[in-house]
Structure 1
């Protein structure tokens, strides 16, 4: 039976009241179905936005990790050697959670002059610093922690990145100069 057939007045007053009650029930059912559809569409939309944000964060962390790895490789490969490491031993015996790593490097213009430089983690950012207060520059952000394992001929890096609830870990090895 359709809604239109119930709207026709047959002349009896009680049938009209019953017909209006059925119409009211049908309208309520239609409104409930429409609200359920609207809520489900909103939930799907919100979850798709969360997934999009998560994917964007992961892509950003991978890009930052790649830049940080390239810069650390460049700095260590152009250094004379790592001289000192500040930090504490982490959960793993091999890795050490570091705050700052000191190394000696030649200047860009004067290859015979050696400078002391640092790679440091400060407030979620990672910097390359000069010891003679010439400044520092940021090579990465969203750093949760940096661990290293120093061996005779190489250094293993484990850097953790975190944006919101998403995290990413980058592991790489840098060979030392012998």
Structure 2
């Protein structure tokens, strides 16, 4: 229904065994090398998610890497989960996954933007342009302009994050319908 292979699904488990099954999956998953390890001996295992709606699901929701409760479920399950689905339709898991990827991409973009911006702006604010003469005067950045530039940098990161809600191509998040 949602595209998860049958060999990756565990269903029909007794309530007291759910947390054990989640821990089993966490320990038995094949670890793979991360993308940016550069020769380090670091391995990352796949993320294990648990979807539940009852009181008996709360220990497994807590143990799982990602606990997802169904909104119509018990308050205990909702408080134990990291995410709460607003309806019982499991296709919203795809929306959650897609939205999570979009948010992480935006976080990485904002971090890269802030890093590049500060790598350029910091030397300018420190006076790297001071030896440059324009019209016989030394070039320097007034502290007021430096403060304004930092405020604009923060504003650009906030605006970039808020654009996720816009639904525009390339800058906003657009939910794709599942057929």
Same fold by TM-score greater than 0.5: no
Q: Which structure's residues are more often helix, by fraction?
A: 2
Which structure's CA Rg is the greater one?
Answer: 1
Q: Which structure's residues are more often strand, by fraction?
A: 1
